[in-house]
């Protein structure tokens, strides 16, 4: 199975170093250009399926990339961005990172999802992905934190605080894995 993972293009929040979690932000002009560049890099890639987070920024990115492939885009809730309590959405990302540095697995900002909870849903997604599409090339479009988890698991690495803080996934970064 071939898995191609792409983080969504830039949003206003990304440009300002702010976290938004599940808020439905659109791509900036730069984000749209990033998606177009990813589209060009993937235009000759064999892709059988596209699976995408249901958030607007990921859908917009997937639609741009899909312009050469003309595939249905399957929305998947389990790969949505980490859930951030609405009271904390719009804060600088460093606020969230401080919480994770204190307690990586169970740290919370209000009622948000913990790293432990996010890893559980990503593992569930990957188990289903491997069962359903084991002989296919699948493009996944999502968000940085869930992508870090997917990448670690699919590469057979341990997902922990050290991995989290040493791996940055850029907007529209393309990760190709054969599993």
Which segments within 58-126 are labelled E, that is strand?
A: 73-75
Q: What are phi and psi of 139, to 5 degrees?
A: -95, 130
In the chain, the largest separation of any two C-alpha atoms, in whole Å, equals: 45
Helices (H) and strands (E) in the chain, counts: 7, 5
Grouping H, G, I as helix, E, B as strand and the rest as coil, residue 166 is helix
Least confident of 40-54, 104-118, 134-148, 157-171: 104-118
Summary mean pLDDT of the chain = 90
- Residue 98 has a pLDDT of 78
Q: For 12-34, what is each residue's pLDDT tens digit?
A: 888 877 776 667 789 999 999 99
Tokens 């460093």 correspond to: 94
Tokens of 92: 């600088």
Identify the band that residue 90 occupies on the pLDDT scale cut at 50, 70 and 90: low
pLDDT of residue 15: 83
Domain range 2-178, CATH architecture: 3-Layer(aba) Sandwich (3.40)
Residue 89 pLDDT: 58
Give the whole-angstrom CA distance, residue 67 versus residue 170.
Answer: 22
Phi and psi for 40 in degrees, rounded to 5? -65, -40
């Amino acid at each position: 199975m071939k898995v191609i993972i792409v983080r969504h293009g830039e949003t206003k929040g990304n440009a300002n170093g702010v976290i938004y979690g599940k808020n439905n932000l659109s791509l900036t002009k730069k984000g749209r250009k990033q998606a177009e560049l990813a589209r060009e890099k993937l235009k000759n890639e064999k892709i059988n399926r596209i699976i995408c987070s249901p958030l607007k920024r990921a859908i917009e990115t997937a639609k741009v990339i899909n312009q050469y492939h003309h595939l249905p885009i399957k929305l998947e809730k389990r790969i949505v961005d980490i859930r951030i309590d609405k009271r904390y959405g719009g804060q600088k990302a460093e606020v969230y990172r401080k919480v994770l540095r204190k307690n990586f697995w169970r740290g919370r900002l209000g009622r948000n999802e913990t790293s432990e909870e996010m890893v559980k849903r990503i593992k569930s997604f990957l188990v289903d992905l491997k069962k359903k599409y084991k002989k296919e090339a699948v493009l996944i479009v999502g968000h940085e934190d869930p992508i870090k988890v997917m990448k670690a698991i699919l590469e057979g690495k341990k997902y922990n605080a050290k991995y989290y803080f040493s791996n940055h996934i850029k907007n529209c970064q393309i990760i190709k894995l054969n599993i």
